[in-house]
Chain A
Amino acid sequence: MAASEHDVVRSELRWALVVGGFVAVTMGLTLFAALALHRNPPSNLERIDPKTLHLSGEFTEPNLGTRVEANGQITARIVATQFAFVPACVVLPEGREVTLRLASPDVIHGILVSGTNVNTMVVPGYVSQVHTVFRTTGDLLMPCHEFCGLGHSQMLARVRVVPGDQFRPDAQGRISCGPQ
């Protein structure tokens, strides 16, 4: 039986409803994740001079690594440079909100932490910042995922997630992986 124009219009409207439902479901779940579960793309517009970040400010060598701030906030500061992360290992606690702050003095890098949603670019001139809560303990790999030069494949760091009772910073609030 041939379809009349009316049938075609009905079919197209039905199909439009299906597509509209698809978009509504995906948008709804995305909004639910963002508003109820606090899962958002990392966004932090914060400038830093890539030529001098190692000379003064928070990314000088003594400030790198994990630090528990006076207000209890746990922050890991890492410099991503060709072709290493400094430091190459950071210690963070399981089950507490932590902040990763990264900067690059040379070219664009990127990081992800295996098995988590942590994933961001590290662009020279900007501070990349990610908030997360680690739910598993162990050494998680953190490779550079943005091709940054011939040594890119060797650019790898570790995030050592320890149980909360084993996360014991020193008097200055510092904690590190120890000798590498």
Chain B
Amino acid sequence: MVSEPVRRRGNGPGENGELSASELTRLGPVPSGAAALASIAVGSLLFAWLLIYLAIYLPRGMIG
């Protein structure tokens, strides 16, 4: 059993679930980057949906 996080091998947390200070520092900025990427992806999707809805679907007239 490895008790010191710094000496662990692999990428996951230790058995007690803790990460070392350096690992936490490196992981800290990741969520904001992921959030920005996801926001751009979802925003693009919504924009494309609205573009098709407003520029193609609505002008093409009623259907039923």
Q: Tell me the A residues contacting B by CB distance below 8 Å.
A: 1-3, 7-8, 11, 15, 18-19, 22, 25-26, 29, 33, 37-42, 97, 115-119, 130-135
Whether, in the assembled complex, B63 has its beta carbon less than 8 Å from a beta carbon of chain A, the answer is yes
Give the docked Cα–Cα distance between A15 and B38 (Å).
9
Check if B46 is an interface residue, CB within 8 A of chain A: yes
Provided the pairs A18-B42, A33-B57 are in contact, do residues A131 and B31 lie with their beta carbons within 8 angstroms? no
A15 CA to B35 CA, complexed, in Å: 8
B-side interface mostly: helix
Chain B residues near A22: list those with CB within 8 A: 42, 45-46
B35: contacting residue among A2, A11, A115, A134, CB under 8 A: A11
- Interface contacts (Cβ under 8 Å), in number, total 67
- Can you name 25 A-B residue pairings with CB atoms under 8 Å? A1-B28, A2-B27, A3-B28, A11-B31, A11-B35, A15-B35, A18-B42, A19-B42, A22-B46, A25-B46, A26-B46, A33-B53, A37-B58, A39-B64, A41-B63, A42-B64, A116-B61, A116-B63, A117-B57, A119-B63, A130-B63, A130-B64, A131-B63, A131-B64, A135-B61
* Nearest neighbor of A37 in chain B, beta-carbon distance: B62
Which residues from B are CB-within-8-Å of A7? 31
> Which of A37, A40, A115, A117 is the most central at the interface, judged by chain B CB atoms within 10 Å of its CB?
A117
Closest to A136 in B: B61
Known contacts A1-B28, A2-B28, A26-B49; A133/B61 CB under 8 A:
yes
